[in-house]
Structure 1
Amino acid sequence: MMSQPLSEADIIFPHLSNTPNLSSTLSSLRRSTLSIHNRLSSIVFDSAFVTSVAEAYAFPLVANERCGSWYIPLSLKSESVYFKSTDGHMGEWKFSLRRLNLQLLDVVEKWGGAVIVDSTRRGKSVPDALSKTVPIWCCVINRAVFGEKHDLFTWPQAVGESEHAQIERRIGGFVRQFLDICKPNIPHLRAKLQKPLRPIWVTQQSSLPNSPPLFSDFHPIVLCTASRRVRGAEGSENGYIQGAADDHEAWAQGLTPTLFWQNKNILTNASEEEAPGIIERLIAEKDGDHATATLIKPTNRLYISSSHSVDPRGFDLVISCTAESFPQSLLKDANVQHYLHLKCQTGKLGSRDLRSRLPHLLAIFTSFPLSEHSRVLFCCPTGKDLSVGTLLAILCLYVDEDGTLNIGKRRESKDIGKVFIKQRLSWITTSNPALNPSRATLQSVNAVLLESENPKAHLQTNKLSNDKPTFPTSIAVRDTKPISHEPTSTNNDRSPSLPTSIFHNLATPSSSDRRWLFTRTLRSSLPTHPSGSVIGTATFTPCSFPSPSPSLSDTATSPSTMQQALLYAEEGKFVTHTGLQFTARRKYMYLLKRDVNSAAEAEAKPKRHIAVHFFDDDKMPGSSILEGVGKDSAGVGGLFVEMDTLEESREDVLFLSGNDE
C-alpha cells in the first residue's frame, strides 16, 4: 500500500516561542563566554604578563584601582593609585584635586620607578587612564616640582597631535590649581624626586627588555595594560576576555581581588555552577575579619573606618554615622571612653540626614575631654562616605595646618571657603585614595560649613534675671555621657539617685503643669541668616511608649508616679535685629535610662542617667503635645546627648527651677 503524499497540514512546526532567533542565540553564547570561570581564567593569564613586566623593569607593581588589583598577586602589590579614565576623555581632561595620588611618589623614591597596572575592555588597546590621565599627572607634578620647562608626554598611538596640543594648553592651569588649592609641600616632594617623571607604555604586543634598563634622565612610570586587545567578538577567543576584571560589580558577586588571590586555585578549578556557592562561602568566612582604620595625615589622632566589624579598641572617642548605635557592650569591652551616635540612613538619604546631624556634633564636639594623646575614630557603613564628611567638618573647624587637633579654638566662618574645604579633603584622599565621599555628602558638609548659622548659636541660653534662674533649654555640653567602666555599686541604699529625683519631680502633675520661662540669643556670622533673640515658655509632658523601639529598650521602668519619658516642648517669639518677628518651636525627648549589666546589679542600685533625643518632626509633622511620641514611638529621633550620673557634690550639677504662670 502506497503512503499518501505529505501535505502542509501534516507538518508540525515548533512554536515560535520555543525557537530561539539569531539575536537570542548570540546573547546566550556571549553570556556563556563572559562567565565567572572565563573571567578568572583570563585574569590569571594576563597576570602572568604583568608579572613579567615587573621582572623586566625591576620595578614594583602598583594597581590602578579598581581594576588593576585583580591582575596583581598579593605578594607583588606595593601600592594603589586612583587615576580615572574619565579624566582623560576627549575634551574632559583633568588633574584631580580630590585624588592626588602622591603616594606613588613614595614608591618612586624607594625604587626609582613603578609599574602601574590597568586594563580596558574590548575596543581599545590602552585605557584612557594610562594613555592620558597619568601623563597629565606626571607633567603637572614635574612642573610643580621642577618648573615649567618640562613637556607633556603622551602615547602617539592613542593620542593625536591635535588632542596632545589641547591637553598641553591646559597643563598650566592644572599646575596653578594644584599649588593654590592643595598647597603641597614642594620641598618635601622635591626630596622624593631626583629626576622628572616620564611615562612608558607597555602592552602584550610590546617587546620587553632582556635585562632591567637604566634610566639616567628620568624616573620611568611604566604604564602596563594587562589584557591583550581582542579585535573580534569574545566568542572567537576560546574563552579569553579582554579586560575581564573591568566593572567587577556586575559579575564578581561580592568577590574581591584579595579574596580571589587568597583562594585562586579553588576558584579557577570550580565549575560555573559551583562558583557562586564557593564565592558566597568565602565572603561569609571573611566577614569575621575586623575593619582596618586609616590614620588621616598629617594628624596623628584622627582615624576613619567602616562600621562593619569595627574594632574600637585603642580609641578614646568613637563617632558613628549609622542607622543603629553600637552595642554598649562592644564599647565597654574596647574600653572606649566616649561614644557619639549620629543616626543616619544609607545612601543619599544618609547624606541628607548628615546635614541635620552635623550642627549638633559640631556644637558638642569640644565638650569631650580629649587629651593630646586621645585618638578619635569616625565610622559609617562603608567607611568611605558619611564618616568622611563628618571627619572633613572636624578637619575644617578644629585642626591646624600642621595637623594638630585644637578643640579649644574653633576656626571662624570667614576663614572657611570651598577652596579650604578642598584642601582638607585632599588630606583624607591622600591618606587613603579609596576614601571618596559622594557628591551628596560633600554638599551636606558645604551647607553646614558655608551656609548655616553657627551651630552653637541655637544651643545657647541666657537667664531672664539674676534672681529668677530658668531651666536651661539646651543641654550643658560638659555633661556628655562618657561610658562607665566602673563596677556597679552594691550599696543597698535605696534612696533615689539625682537623675531619678529630677525626672520624678518633672513628671509629677504639679510640675508637668508648670511652664518654664527661657530666653536665647542667636548670633549668625552670615548676613543671609538673621540674628536676634527668642523669649518664650517650655513644658515637660509625661509620655509613655505604646511599643518601645529596640533602641529604647533600656529605658528604666518608672514607678506609678513616674513616666518613662518626658516630652520637652518650647514656643517663643523670635525677634531679629532688624525688628522682624517669627514664632519659633522645638521639641526634645527626655528619657530616664539605667546602666544594668546583671540581675545582681539591678537588685542593688543601678546607675541612672538622663538621655535627650531629638524629636522626629519628619515622622510626626505638626503634631501636638497631647499626641506625645505617637504610635510605636515614631516621634523619638536620634540621640542628642546623654548626661552622666549626676552627683549632688559636683559644681556642674544641673539645677531645675521655674516660675508658675
Structure 2
Amino acid sequence: MNRLALRFRREWGYQDDEPTFWDVDLHTPSCLVSAEEHAEISNLIDERVQSLYASRAVVQPQRFVQLMTKPLRPIWMSQISSEPLSTIETTLLDHSLAPEQAPKYHLLACWNPSMYKMLTSPKGQFQWMEELPNVQTNVPSNVISIASSTHKSSHGYYYTPGAADDQESWDRHLTPALFWQHCRKILDPALTEDETDACIDVLVQQCRESQELHNQPRPELCDEENANQIGTLPLWVGSRRAGRPPTCWQQYDAILNVTEQEYPEMTNSIVEAGQSTNRFYLQLAVAEGKRDKTELERWMPVGLAFLIHHLRQNRRVLVHCSQGKDRSV
C-alpha cells in the first residue's frame, strides 16, 4: 500500500518534506520470519504493486492519496518476541505527544497470541508449543525468547490461517446473540475448557430444540428467501431451512443435505408419503467450513451421482448446507 500510494503521490505532484519520509520498506517480525524469507517476500512486492496499479482497482487515486496522508507502519508483537520496541515504535505508541511531534506513520499493531517454539530446520520453522518450560532457553534472544517464569504455563493459542472468516470450524455453532444471552454462564472462571465446550453445546442444543418447537413452517419462504435456482435448470442451492419437511416436498422432488444436521421429521415425511410419491433424500454429513474439506472431497462423487441421476429424470433438486453459502455451493 505504501509503494502504491507513493506512486500516486508522485503522479499527483505531492511533495514530501524529506526524501526518506515515505516508508516503502518491508517490515516483518525477525523472531518469526527468517532473513531468507524476508528477502523472498521483498522481491515480490514491486511486481504485486505493478499488477495492482495496472488493474486500476483504485478507481479514485487522488482521493486515495488525500486519505492516506502518512505511510503505514506495522509493529509486530508475539508471545515469543523478546526484542524491545525500537525508538520509532516506542514513539508511535506514545499517545501523549503534541500534534507537531506526532509520528509520521499510521500505526498498525499486529499481535499474534499463539505460542510457538523453533524447530530444528534450515529455515527455522515454528510449531505450536503447548507447555512452557520453567527455564530460560539458550536460544539467541533475536530468534526466540520463552518466558522465564518459575512455573509452567499452558496459556497460548494456535492460530489457524483463514480461521477469522471460517468461524464454523471453531465456534461450536454459538451465535453472538446466544453468547450474550448466556455470557456469564459461558465465562464462568470455575469451568475448565472441556466444561465450557460442554456448556456451549448444551445451550446450542436447547436453542435448536426451542426453534424447532416454536418456528412453524412457512411454505412461501422456500423459493425466494431460502434457495436460489441455478439458471433454468431444475436445480436449487439453499440453506437448511429450504429443506425443512414436510414443506420442502411441495417445492422439490430430491434433496441433497450437505450438513451434519438433519430434521428429525425428515424420515417420517418420506415414509408417510409412501411409494406413490417420489421423494428422494440423501445426507452427506460434512461439517461446515474448511475443517472438513477432506470429507467433502471424499463424498463429492456420491453427491454428484445423486444430482446427475435426478436431474436426468427432470426432477426438482435442492442442494443445501446450513446457510446456502458453503458446502452446497
Tell me which interval the TM-score lies in, with the shorter structure as reference length: 0.3 to 0.5
Output the TM-score relative to the length of structure 2. 0.42
Which protein has greater RCO, CA pairs closer than 8 Å, 6+ apart? 2
Output the TM-score relative to the length of structure 1. 0.24
Q: Which has the higher strand share?
A: 1
Q: Which has the larger radius of gyration?
A: 1
